[in-house]
Amino acid sequence: MRLHELRQAGREPNLPLALELNGEALAMERLLRVLPGQRYVGLARWRGRAVLAKLLVGDKAERHFRRELNGARQLAEQGLVTPSLLADGFEAGEGGWLLFDYLDDAESLGDAWRAVEREPLLAQAQQAVLGEALAAIAQMHACGLWQDDLHLDNLLRHEGLLYLIDGGGVQAEAAGQPLSRQRVLENLGVFFAQLPAELEPFIEELLVHYLLANAEHALPLEALMKEVARVRQWRLRDYLKKVGRDCSLFAARIGAFGLRVVRREHEAELAPLLADPDRHIAAGQLLKDGGSATVVCLHWQGRPLVLKRYNIKGWQHWLKRFWRPSRAWHSWVEGHRLELLGIATPRPLAVVERRWCWLRSRAWLVTDHCAGEDLTTRFAAHVDGVPPEVELQALDRLFAALIRERISHGDFKGTNLFWHENRWNLIDLDAMHQHADQSGFARAYARDRARFLRNWPAESALYRLLDQRLPRL
């Protein structure tokens, strides 16, 4: 295959992929990242060795190639640890390629963080991962470089060293001279904004790891926190746009006669389910059968899933619903909002709407199954006593997160909170809302808090304990 033919290869070209680059053979064995018609990154064989191949095609290929090449060279020229660039080239009308030394069995700091993120805040293992990352970022900044796509997956552990990768995001202010303070603050804002918001009180402590490697500037904490808040807001807006369009994360088909969005890694697995969701509802284990919604648990290809159908109760109900986003769509968006904000909820996997000339009717939502007990059941034995402290502390953290993000649930009863993996998971997100102003949130929060406490008799010991413990606004 010629390089330019990759433009027509789509998202999943047949592998292995045999290519000719400047007269030499390259065999792409496994794809790691694909931007259809533009970028193909994966493990390949070249001259008998394993390489990481970045293949760039399409109208923007030359610009992307130059950016990747310049970034890779800048990292190497400043003596930073980065995979060796073995070969590169660009042919007009064909595209560009960069072949790097392949770091076999490397572990990204993103994977290392995911392995420890459920540990107590700033536990030693978490400190080790974040400290390692901040030291590497500080070294880049000391050399006048920064990475505009800064995240933990762009830092790889391999044989005792930490490698910086992804030259396409590397930029220079004045190579070889320390980065300006404003650029440092902006870049660190990008880094900290991707960490759980619960870590914000520890940012000053974490900065010590950065300052030990690069003490060029005093870094005012207030200015840094403003950058973190700004980037958090941008990331949330950007991510919530992606949940409704076809992209690397989601496969979307949206039109006048239907909507279907599914997480791309589950697209093939869920295709038969989404083709006829009602048939699978009839065969599933019934969890709820109300007028407005029907919920079942399915064992789908070896894993439990929850399938929820949002019903239309009659023509009058339809008149209220057809013109606005469905409750399934609202739950889909809010589920991803909670996921990005680090608030536990079963992961949304797919959403389907039935439409006729854009007029909405029934809708379905597929999520992961939350296997734990709901809060009402779990606290039933403690109505006249005290629940386990670990569960009360998890409840404290949940309420703190909802207050911090100004999120109201809208139906905060005990059966909508499930204990799973040592966290309270929120379900039933049909009425969830993130408020723009504090006054509106305060009113909604007061309703949520009152509804939550109504799970138990007002004279019970548990009611009094929680009423004393839960914050008021």
Q: What is the pLDDT of residues 203-238, one digit of tens each?
A: 999 999 999 999 999 999 999 999 999 999 999 999
Residue 122 tokens read as 């700033």
Q: How far apart are CA 280 and CA 298, in angstroms?
A: 8
234 in the same domain as 111: yes
Considering the domain architecture, whether residues 31 and 75 belong to the same structural domain is answered as: yes
Both 297 and 389 in a single domain? no
pLDDT band for 321, please (50, 70, 90 cuts): low
Q: Taking the CB of residue 127, how many other CB atoms lie within 10 A of it? A: 16
| Residue that terminates a domain, selected from 368, 393, 418 | 368
Same domain, 359 and 385: no
What angle, 0 to 180 degrees and rounded to 10, lies between the N-to-C axes of helices 124-142 and 203-213? 50
**What percent of the chain has a predicted confidence (pLDDT) above 70?**
97
Q: Answer yes or no: do 92 and 39 share one domain.
A: yes
Residues 459-468: contacts with CB under 8 Å, at least 24 apart: 460/383, 460/384, 461/383, 461/384, 461/385, 461/386, 462/379, 462/382, 462/383, 462/384, 462/385, 462/386, 462/387, 465/386, 466/395
Task: Assess whether 125 and 163 both reside in one domain.
Answer: yes
3-state secondary structure of 223: helix
Compute the mean pLDDT over every residue in the chain, rounded to the nearest whole number. Answer: 94
The reply to whether 148 and 173 lie within a common domain is: yes
Task: State how many domains the chain has.
Answer: 4
| CATH number of the domain encompassing residue 447 | 1.10.510
User: What confidence tier does 290 reach under pLDDT thresholds 50, 70, 90?
Assistant: confident
Q: Which domain range does residue 420 map to?
A: 375-469
Interval 84-114: pLDDT, tens: 999 999 999 999 999 999 999 999 999 999 9
Residue 143 shares a structural domain with residue 232: yes
Q: What is the pLDDT of residue 47?
A: 96
Q: How large is the average pLDDT for residues 375-382?
A: 96
As to burial, measured by CB atoms within 10 angstroms (0-12 exposed, 13-18 middle, 19+ buried), residue 56 is buried
Which of 56, 86, 101 terminates a domain? The answer is 101
**Do 293 and 215 share a structural domain?**
no
DSSP labels, 385-429: S---HHHHHHHHHHHHHHHHHTEE-S---GGGEEEETTEEEE---
Same domain, yes or no, for 210 and 150? yes
The CATH number that applies at residue 194 is 1.10.510.10
What mean pLDDT comes out for the span 188-215?
95
Provide the total of helices (H) and of strands (E) in the chain, helices listed first. Answer: 14, 22
Question: How confident is residue 16, by pLDDT bands cut at 50, 70 and 90?
Answer: very high
Last residue of a domain, one of 45, 69, 101: 101
Q: What is the pLDDT of residue 151?
A: 93
CA–CA dist 254, 239 (Å, integer): 18
Are 123 and 97 members of one domain? no
Q: Please check whether residues 126 and 188 belong to one and the same domain.
A: yes
pLDDT value, residue 149: 85
Provide mean pLDDT across the span 408-428. Answer: 96
Q: What is the pLDDT of residue 358?
A: 64
